[in-house]
């Protein structure tokens, strides 16, 4: 049995999405012939060649002139410049031609389309260099990577406007899959005439199948935006190699397809598995090899003999976290990923800049109380740890394989006790890595622990401040206060660790006053050096969260969902507070964007909402609240 795991478009371009690395490593540890490919990266790179640029031009010329966007018009006007610079620009972003930075920084080498207008936002009065404030005289590589990223973003806009309107670098075709009650939108899209994007993906799929000749293909779908492309991949495999079995899994499947009854999806895939994939895959492989009956499949959907969806869940324990093996990146083109620099902020850029080895410190979440989170699902609710010694063994093995010493610990919330033990083990064994991860800003993270983590190689931490309101933090059972978050984040910052805050607005019963006050807390956290990065997310109620399961406890009424046979996750609700949170979102994001670049602290927080067209109160937060919390 040969198993091929595929990463479908669109996921990160700077580093492989880790699911296939986890599964390939696990299957190999169990003696299975397992390989992997990243078709997300391959698809983008197939367009970013001189030949690909020419194909894009043909598509752009087919767009009726009056319907052409500014991006298309600029691309057509400067086509020769794009075609001649695309190969060197890609090589530079892949780290294979660093000296090109000098030419890129002249601002004469790359064509500069509409995306470059963003540079004007921070242009110093009287300065001829709008990036001087960010990079100074020494950051020539970073400056050039930012310019090259803007150049690629211009091309991505052309791809979206001229080739496939579903295209984005990360969230490709998201609207087709996210919380769709039926399979119909996806079915219609898959039956439609393939776009040039689809044709590229089909060719790449056929090449991968011919290269590996697998018996079983695993498609990992982490986000709604990857579902359409995953099914396009499955479609071409079924058309060309119907004997190959296809299994679908991943974060999107685990979250949204738990009540699946629409049998049409099985025209494309044979099996759909839920939650951690190790045990379901072992049972599936045994079934395909004739060693297990179909009734003994674990957490698996399939089509039965009467053309109905059947869910099989033989009760069998999951593979313990300590026994899942070590992830492997063998087979993935580690020298071909693009180190993009979208955001100039040094913390925010980590998500797209650099090739990070992804690793998990523990399975699930040790807190699992937050009311906005899917705490009822396995990836949160089943909490298991591994010893620090085993984790460092895995780290050493991954470094030896990849040659890369950067790690992103992708836990929902890495436990402080486990991080302390891991840091001590890294120091004891003199294993030198750089790492960052996600935590809860709880009081256990003392300044002393922050210093220890920094000494072990920690460079950054992200965590949830969420609504930045003590009333709402208590309501969502976050287990932290604004004052506590200030103290914990300051401890990290003082230890030289960058801090990103996940922020939220629109939580049930949140008032306009609380939103304005939350922004003032955030402003003070930035100004006092507690956090260096942040982002406001709109609260979404999901059916698997405490809010979705017990809405009356949060003072809201859910709007009944339509009959669902496919994806089910987001659920709308009626909030008696009656606040139009959507009109506040733009002001929140604009303010934080400025704070991340070190500007706008002297602007009154209510001023960021001038365009909201609703009455905005002044903040009720004392102007020195965070300062007092830090130095009381």
* pLDDT tens digits, 496-507: 999 999 999 999
Domain limits at 121?
46-163
Do 100 and 178 lie in one domain? The reply is no
Do 8 and 131 lie in one domain? The reply is no
Distance CA 179, CA 565 (A): 11
State the DSSP code for 618. P
Q: What's the average model confidence in pLDDT over 518-538?
A: 96
Residue 476 CB contacts under 8 Å (≥ 6 apart), including other chains:
370, 371, 372, 466, 467, 507
Beta bridge partners of residue 363, listed in sequence order: 384
Token pair recorded at residue 123: 């242009």
CATH number at residue 23: 3.40.50.280
| 560 inside domain | no
| 569 inside domain | no
Helix (H) or strand (E) holding 127, with range, is: none
More confident: 632 or 209: 209
Place of tokens 């063998």: 330
From residue 349, alpha-carbon distances to 29, 509, 596 in Å are 34, 33, 11
Residue 317 CB contacts under 8 Å (≥ 6 apart), including other chains:
279
State the DSSP code for 570. B
- pLDDT of 136 over the 70 cut: no
* pLDDT tens digits, 417-462: 999 999 999 999 999 999 999 999 999 999 999 999 999 999 999 9
CATH number at residue 420: 3.80.30.20
Token pair recorded at residue 474: 């208590």
The answer to whether the CB of 363 falls within 8 A of the CB of 300 is no
Helix (H) or strand (E) holding 253, with range, is: helix 251-256
Do 178 and 309 lie in one domain? The reply is yes
- pLDDT of 171 over the 60 cut: no
* Mean pLDDT of the residues in the chain: 93
Please tell me whether residue 374 adopts helix, strand or coil conformation: coil
- State the burial class of residue 615 (Cβ atoms within 10 Å of its Cβ: 0-12, 13-18, 19+): exposed
Residue 200 CB neighbours (<10 A): 22
**Confidence tier at 219 by pLDDT (50, 70, 90):** very high
| 434 inside domain | yes
Distance CA 492, CA 58 (A): 52
**Confidence tier at 173 by pLDDT (50, 70, 90):** low
Decide which of 139, 163, 187 is a domain's last residue: 163
| 575 inside domain | no
**Confidence tier at 133 by pLDDT (50, 70, 90):** low
The percent of residues in the chain predicted with pLDDT above 70, rounded, is 95
| 595 inside domain | yes
| 572 inside domain | no
**Confidence tier at 126 by pLDDT (50, 70, 90):** very low
Place of tokens 């052409």: 68
Token pair recorded at residue 542: 């999901």
Do 301 and 350 lie in one domain? The reply is no
- pLDDT of 137 over the 50 cut: no
Do 309 and 432 lie in one domain? The reply is no
Beta bridge partners of residue 303, listed in sequence order: 309
In the chain, the largest separation of any two C-alpha atoms, in whole Å, equals 75
Do 13 and 153 lie in one domain? The reply is no
Q: What's the average model confidence in pLDDT over 331-352?
A: 89
Decide which of 278, 293, 322 is a domain's last residue: 322
Do 30 and 54 lie in one domain? The reply is no
From residue 224, alpha-carbon distances to 177, 262, 496 in Å are 5, 17, 36
Distance CA 414, CA 436 (A): 10
State the DSSP code for 161. I
Residue 441 Cα to chain centre, angstroms: 21
| 497 inside domain | yes
Do 36 and 65 lie in one domain? The reply is no
CA neighbor of 437 nearest in space, from 421, 455, 453: 453
Count: domains in the chain: 3
Do 306 and 239 lie in one domain? The reply is yes
Q: What's the average model confidence in pLDDT over 234-242?
A: 98
Distance CA 223, CA 519 (A): 29
Do 35 and 51 lie in one domain? The reply is no
The answer to whether the CB of 365 falls within 8 A of the CB of 379 is no
DSSP per-residue letters across 192-210: SPPPHHHHHHHHHHHHHHH
Decide which of 290, 322, 354 is a domain's last residue: 322
Distance CA 184, CA 190 (A): 10
The answer to whether the CB of 2 falls within 8 A of the CB of 24 is no
Distance CA 206, CA 208 (A): 5
Do 181 and 317 lie in one domain? The reply is yes
State the DSSP code for 459. E
Do 498 and 627 lie in one domain? The reply is yes
| HEC sequence for 540-558 | CCECCCHHHHCHHHHCCEE
Token pair recorded at residue 340: 């993009």
| 126 inside domain | yes
């Amino acid at each position: 049995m040969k198993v091929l795991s595929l990463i479908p478009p669109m996921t990160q371009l700077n580093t492989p999405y880790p699911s296939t690395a986890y599964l390939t490593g696990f299957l190999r540890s169990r003696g299975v012939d397992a390989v992997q490919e990243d078709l997300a990266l391959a698809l983008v790179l197939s367009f970013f060649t001189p030949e690909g640029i020419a194909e894009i031009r043909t598509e752009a010329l087919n767009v009726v002139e009056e319907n052409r966007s500014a991006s298309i018009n600029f691309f057509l006007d400067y086509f020769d410049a794009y075609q001649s610079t695309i190969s060197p620009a890609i090589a530079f972003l892949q780290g294979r031609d660093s000296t090109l930075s000098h030419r890129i920084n002249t601002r004469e080498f790359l064509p500069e389309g509409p995306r470059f207008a963003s540079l004007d936002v921070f242009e110093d009065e009287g300065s001829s260099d709008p990036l001087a404030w960010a990079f100074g005289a020494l950051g020539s590589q970073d400056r050039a990577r930012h310019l090259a990223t803007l150049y690629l973003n211009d091309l991505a806009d052309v791809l979206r406007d001229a080739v496939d309107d579903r295209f984005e670098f990360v969230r490709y075709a998201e609207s087709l899959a996210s919380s769709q009650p039926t399979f119909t939108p996806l079915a219609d899209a898959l039956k439609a005439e393939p776009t040039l994007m689809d044709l590229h993906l089909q060719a790449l799929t056929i090449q991968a199948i011919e290269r590996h000749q697998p018996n079983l293909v695993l498609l990992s779908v982490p986000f709604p935006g990857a579902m359409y492309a995953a099914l396009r991949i499955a479609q071409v495999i079924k058309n060309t190699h119907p004997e190959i079995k296809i299994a679908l899994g991943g974060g999107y499947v685990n979250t949204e397809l738990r009540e699946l009854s629409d049998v049409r999806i099985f025209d494309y895939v044979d099996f759909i598995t839920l939650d951690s994939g190790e045990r379901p895959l072992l049972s599936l492989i045994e079934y395909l090899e004739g060693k297990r009956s179909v009734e003994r499949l674990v957490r698996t959907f399939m089509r039965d003999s009467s053309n109905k969806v059947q869910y099989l869940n033989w009760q069998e324990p999951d593979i313990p976290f300590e026994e899942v093996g070590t992830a492997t990146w063998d087979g993935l083109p580690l020298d071909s990923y693009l180190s993009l620099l979208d955001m100039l902020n040094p913390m925010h850029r980590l998500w797209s800049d650099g090739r990070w080895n992804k690793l998990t410190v523990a399975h699930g979440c040790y807190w699992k109380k937050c009311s906005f989170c899917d705490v009822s699902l396995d990836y949160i609710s089943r909490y298991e740890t591994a010893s620090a010694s085993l984790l460092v063994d895995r780290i050493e093995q991954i470094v030896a394989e990849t040659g890369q010493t950067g790690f992103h610990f992708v836990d929902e919330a890495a436990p402080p006790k486990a991080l302390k033990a891991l840091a001590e083990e890294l120091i004891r064994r003199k294993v030198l890595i750089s790492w960052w991860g996600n935590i809860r800003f709880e009081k256990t993270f003392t300044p002393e622990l922050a210093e220890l983590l920094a000494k072990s190689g920690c460079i950054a931490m992200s965590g949830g401040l969420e609504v930045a309101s003590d009333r709402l933090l208590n309501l969502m059972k976050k287990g932290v206060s604004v004052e506590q978050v200030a103290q914990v984040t300051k401890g990290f910052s003082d230890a030289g660790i960058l801090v990103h805050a996940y922020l939220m607005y629109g939580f049930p019963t949140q008032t306009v006053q609380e939103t304005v006050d939350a922004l003032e807390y955030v402003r003070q956290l930035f100004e006092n050096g507690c956090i260096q990065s942040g982002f406001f997310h709109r609260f979404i109620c999901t059916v698997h969260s405490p809010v979705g399961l017990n809405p009356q406890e949060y003072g809201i009424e859910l709007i009944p969902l339509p009959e669902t046979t496919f994806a089910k996750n987001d659920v709308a609700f009626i909030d008696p507070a009656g606040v139009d949170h959507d009109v506040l979102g733009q002001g929140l994001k604009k303010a934080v964007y400025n704070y991340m670049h070190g500007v706008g602290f002297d602007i009154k927080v209510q001023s960021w909402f001038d365009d909201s067209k609703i009455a905005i109160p002044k903040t009720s937060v004392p102007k020195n609240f965070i300062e007092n919390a830090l130095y009381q």
